[in-house]
């Protein structure tokens, strides 16, 4: 068989490359089998579902880390505010109540690194309703875009994962890329602690 002859030649000429190809292929087949398993109580009991989630998180972490590596690094420091999420506007912005002196002011917050053309206000409203009336930290960058952190997780990520918007293809900064990469690497290392 031609394929086996080719592999034999490779194995004799470059054994390290041949064996690394065999190991890589084996790992790829094993990962494909694990990812093809359906989620069920049995799979959950033996830990296969958690393994699938970790594999997905590794893929997402690698993707966002790649975007950080090839993107521009943000050198600007954000202005940090604290407030409460109160809703979403019909333009796809998040409404927040921010303390100003002895009173509160409702402000519209534009989320960073979302493609403005792909924002679905209805879907955005659903995502924001899940976190409505929760305290948040808002990192506002000089261009006016923001990252909203709720319990250590970026709301920007939830919006993208829910399909309410797509990530910006050529972002001005890669702040959100860094946040997403950090979030997914923590998920890989520590698992999903929301359960």
CB-count burial class (<10 Å; 0-12, 13-18, 19+) for 11: middle
Per-residue pLDDT tens over the stretch 44-58 = 788 788 888 888 888
According to the model, what pLDDT value does residue 195 have? 43
Antiparallel, parallel or unpaired: β 135-140 and 145-150: antiparallel
**CA–CA gap between residue 152 and residue 136 (Å, rounded):** 9
Residue with more model confidence, 140 or 82: 82
Contacts of 192 (CB under 8 A, 6+ apart): 53
* Beta-bridge mates of residue 73: none
Positive or negative, the CA dihedral 179, 183, 184, 186 is: positive
Chain-centre distance of CA 36, in angstroms?
22
Average pLDDT, the chain: 83
Residue with more model confidence, 105 or 175: 105
Least confident of 21-25, 66-70, 150-154, 157-161: 66-70
**CA–CA gap between residue 195 and residue 192 (Å, rounded):** 7
Concatenated DSSP letters for 42-87?
Answer: HHHHTTHHHHHHHHHHHHHHHHHHHHHHHSPPP-PPPEEEEEEEEE
Paired tokens of 163:
């399909």
Residue 190 has pLDDT above 50, yes or no: yes
Q: pLDDT band for position 106 (50/70/90)?
A: very high
Residue 64 has pLDDT above 60, yes or no: yes
């Amino acid at each position: 068989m031609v394929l086996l002859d080719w592999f034999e030649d490779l194995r004799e000429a470059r054994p390290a490359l041949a064996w690394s190809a065999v190991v890589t292929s084996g790992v790829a087949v094993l990962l494909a089998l694990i990812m093809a398993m359906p989620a069920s109580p049995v799979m959950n009991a033996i830990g296969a579902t958690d393994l699938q989630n970790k594999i997905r998180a590794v893929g997402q972490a690698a993707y966002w880390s790649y975007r950080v590596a090839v993107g521009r690094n943000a050198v600007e420091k954000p202005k940090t505010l604290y407030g409460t999420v109160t809703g979403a506007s019909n333009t796809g912005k998040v409404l927040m109540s921010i303390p100003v002196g002895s009173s509160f002011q409702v402000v519209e917050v534009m989320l960073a690194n979302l493609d403005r053309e792909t924002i679905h206000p209805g879907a955005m409203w659903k995502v924001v309703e899940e976190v409505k009336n929760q305290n948040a930290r808002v990192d506002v960058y000089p261009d006016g875009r923001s990252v909203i952190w709720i319990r250590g997780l970026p709301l920007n990520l939830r919006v993208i994962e829910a399909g309410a918007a797509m990530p910006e293809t050529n972002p001005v900064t890669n702040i959100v890329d860094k946040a997403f990469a950090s979030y997914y690497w923590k998920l890989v290392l520590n698992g999903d602690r929301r359960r």
